[in-house]
Structure 1
Amino acid sequence: MANPIVSRSLYEIEFWARIMKEHAFFLSLGFTYDQKQLIEEANQFITTFERIEERLSRFTINSEIRLIRSFNNEVYQAAVAIWAFKRKVLGLTLRCEIRSNNYPLLIDHISREAAYFANRLQELNQGILTPKADDIIKENVFFLKIMADHAKFIGHLLDPSERKLVEQAREFSHDFDQLLFQAMDLEHMRPHSETPPILTQFLDQNRVSVTSLRDFKKTARELIEACKIKSNIHPLLADHTFREAERFLEIIDLYEASLESVNY
C-alpha cells in the first residue's frame, strides 16, 4: 500500500513546480530589455524547475519514503531560492531601483505562493497530512487572497475597451475581498471547541464563489486563446490562474472530507 506522504508529496510537487517555473517565465517577460541580469536569473529558475519536473517523473507512489523526503528537501531549497529572488525583485521595485511591467502586488503574490509551497514540503516531511480546523481557515485565507489578487490582475490587464469583462473582474475582486475578510473574522472568533457545521458552511460558501470565478477564468482563457478579446494577458497566464482556482476547489473538497472523518 502506498504511503500517503509519498503520494501527497508527488502531487504537491507536480502542481507547484510547474507554477514556480511559470512564475519565473512571467517575471522574465515583465523585465525590460536592459535588465539582463534579472532575466538571466529568472531563466535559471525555469531550468531549475524543469529539472525538478524531469526528476519527478522517475518517482512513483511506491517510491521509498526516505527518497521522497530527500527529494522534498531538494525541492524545498529551490522553492526558498525562488522566494528570495521574488522578494529581491519586489524590494528593487518598491525602492524604484528598477521599473518593469511586473506589478508589485503580482510579485508579492507569487512570492507568497513560493512560501506556501516550501511550507507544504516541510509539513509533509514532518508527517503532517491531515489538516486541523485552524489549518482549514488559514489555508482558505491564503487561497481567498490568491483568488482576489487574480481578479485584480485580470481587471488591470484587460484592455479598457473590454468594459463588460473589466466590470466582471472588479465584481469578483470585491466578492473575494469580502470572503477574505469574513475568513479572517472567523479565524479570530473561532472558539477552541471546534464547530464543524460553521466550517462546513464556510467551505460550501467558498466553493460556490470559487466555482464562479473558475468558470469566468475558463471563459477568459478560451477567448484569449482564440484572440476574441483585447488584453495584455498571456494565454499561459490565463491557464495558470484557471489551474489555481481548480486547485482551490480540490483543497476545499479535501478539507470537507477531513471534517467528515474527524470529530473536532
Structure 2
Amino acid sequence: MSNLFVDRSLEEVQFWGCIMKEHALFLRLGFTVDQSKLIQEASHFHTLFESIEERAASFTDNAEREHIVRLNMETYQATSHLWAFKRKVLELILSCKIITNNYPLFVDHASREAAYFMNRLEQLNKGILEPLPDAVINENVFFLRLMSDHAKFISHLLDPSERNLITEAADFSYQLDQLLFQAVDLEAMRPASQTSQVLRRLIEESRLMVQSLHDFKRTIKEMIEECRLRSVIHPLLADHMLREAHRFLDLLDRFEASLTAGPND
C-alpha cells in the first residue's frame, strides 16, 4: 500500500508537474512584450514547477510516505497559485484589458487541468490510489473535453492553406464533442448508468476515438519536426497534446482493469 502510494504520487507529480511547467511557458510565450509583469509571473511558475518536477524525480520507490505526503501538499499549493494566475489572465483577456496570443479557451483549458491535478493530489493524500468505477464517467467527461479542445487548437493553429488537415482536425472536434455529450448524458442518468456493461461501452468508444486522435497528433508532431507542416503550433505544444492523449489511453486501461477486478453487477 505504501509503495503504491509513493508510485502513484510520483507518477502524478512528474506528469502533471511537467504539464503545469509547460502551461507557464505557453502563457509566457503568448504575452506581448509590453506585458512584462505577466511574463515575469509566468516565468516564476515555470521555474517553480521545474523544481517540483526535479524534486519528484529525485525520490525512489522506497521513499518515506511522509516525504511524499509533503511533496503532494507543496505541489498542491503551487498548483493552486498557478490556477489563480491562469484565471486572472483569463479575466484580463475576456474583459479586454489585455490582448495575448493565447486563445481564452486555451487559458481556461489549462486552468481546468490545474484544478484536476489539485483534486488528484487531494485524493492521493486521502488514500485514493486506484481509479474507482464511480469515477469512470467523470474522468471521461473531463478528458474528452480536453481532447476536443486539442482538436480545436490544432485546427485553428494550422496555416489556412492546410485545408485537408484543418478539416480532419475539425472532424475530430465534432466527433469528440458528440462522445462528450453522450458521457454527460450518462452522468445525468446515475446511478443506473454505472453498470459495468454501460461503463465498458463508454471506455471502448472513448478508446477508439482517442487512439485515432493520438495517431493524428503524432502525425502532426512528426510533420512539425520534419518541417513539413505549415502552422504556428509550437513543437513542444504538439508533444504536450500527444502526451495527454497517451495519458488518457493509459487511464482508460486502468478503468477497464478496475471494472474487471470489481464485483459483478
Q: Normalised by the shorter chain, which TM-score bucket? A: over 0.9
AA at the equivalent of 1:134:
D
Deviations 1:58-92 (A, max 9, x none): 21111111111011000000111110000000000
Partner of 2:79: 79
Partner of 1:153: 153
Are 1:130 and 2:130 counterparts? Answer: yes
Q: 3-state DSSP class of the match of 1:260?
A: helix
CA RMSD of aligned residues (A): 1.2
Are 1:69 and 2:98 counterparts? Answer: no
TM-score normalised by L of structure 1: 0.98
AA at the equivalent of 1:42:
A
Q: Provide the C-alpha distance between the structure 2 equivalents of 1:193 and 1:110, rounded to a whole number of angstroms.
A: 29
Q: Provide the C-alpha distance between the structure 2 equivalents of 1:143 and 1:248, rounded to a whole number of angstroms.
A: 7
Q: 3-state DSSP class of the match of 1:181?
A: helix
Deviations 1:216-248 (A, max 9, x none): 000000001111010010000000000000000
Q: Provide the C-alpha distance between the structure 2 equivalents of 1:70 and 1:191, rounded to a whole number of angstroms.
A: 36
Q: 3-state DSSP class of the match of 1:3?
A: helix
Cα distance, 1:112 vs structure 2: 0.2
User: Percent same amino acid at aligned positions?
Assistant: 59
> Cα 1:193–1:167, aligned 2, differ >3 Å: closer, same or farther?
closer
Q: 3-state DSSP class of the match of 2:85?
A: helix
Runs of 4+ in 1 over 6 A off after TM superposition: none
Cα distance, 1:3 vs structure 2: 2.0
Are 1:44 and 2:48 counterparts? Answer: no
1:73–1:121 CA contact under 8 A, matched in 2: yes
Partner of 1:107: 107
1:134–1:187 CA contact under 8 A, matched in 2: no
Q: Provide the C-alpha distance between the structure 1 equivalents of 2:255 and 2:161, rounded to a whole number of angstroms.
A: 40
2:2–2:65 CA contact under 8 A, matched in 1: no
Partner of 1:235: 235
Q: 3-state DSSP class of the match of 1:190?
A: coil
Structure 2, gaps ≥5 residues long: none
Q: Provide the C-alpha distance between the structure 1 equivalents of 2:58 and 2:176, rounded to a whole number of angstroms.
A: 39
> Cα 1:191–1:180, aligned 2, differ >3 Å: closer, same or farther?
same
Partner of 2:141: 141
Q: Provide the C-alpha distance between the structure 2 equivalents of 1:156 and 1:258, rounded to a whole number of angstroms.
A: 37
Cα distance, 1:132 vs structure 2: 2.8
Deviations 1:117-176 (A, max 9, x none): 111000000001233333110011000000000000000000010000000000000000
Deviations 1:13-43 (A, max 9, x none): 1100110000000011110010000000000
Q: 3-state DSSP class of the match of 2:231?
A: coil
Q: 3-state DSSP class of the match of 1:88?
A: helix
AA at the equivalent of 1:132:
L
Q: Provide the C-alpha distance between the structure 1 equivalents of 2:194 and 2:234, rounded to a whole number of angstroms.
A: 43
AA at the equivalent of 1:49:
F
Q: Provide the C-alpha distance between the structure 1 equivalents of 2:132 and 2:102, rounded to a whole number of angstroms.
A: 36
1:3–1:61 CA contact under 8 A, matched in 2: yes
Segment of structure 1 superposing worse, 50-59 or 222-231: 50-59
Cα distance, 1:201 vs structure 2: 1.1
Q: Provide the C-alpha distance between the structure 1 equivalents of 2:141 and 2:55, rounded to a whole number of angstroms.
A: 32
Q: 3-state DSSP class of the match of 2:58?
A: coil
AA at the equivalent of 2:4:
P
Cα distance, 1:5 vs structure 2: 1.2
Partner of 2:207: 207
2:193–2:199 CA contact under 8 A, matched in 1: no
1:2–1:61 CA contact under 8 A, matched in 2: no
Q: Provide the C-alpha distance between the structure 2 equivalents of 1:93 and 1:138, rounded to a whole number of angstroms.
A: 29
Partner of 1:56: 56
Q: Provide the C-alpha distance between the structure 2 equivalents of 1:193 and 1:146, rounded to a whole number of angstroms.
A: 22
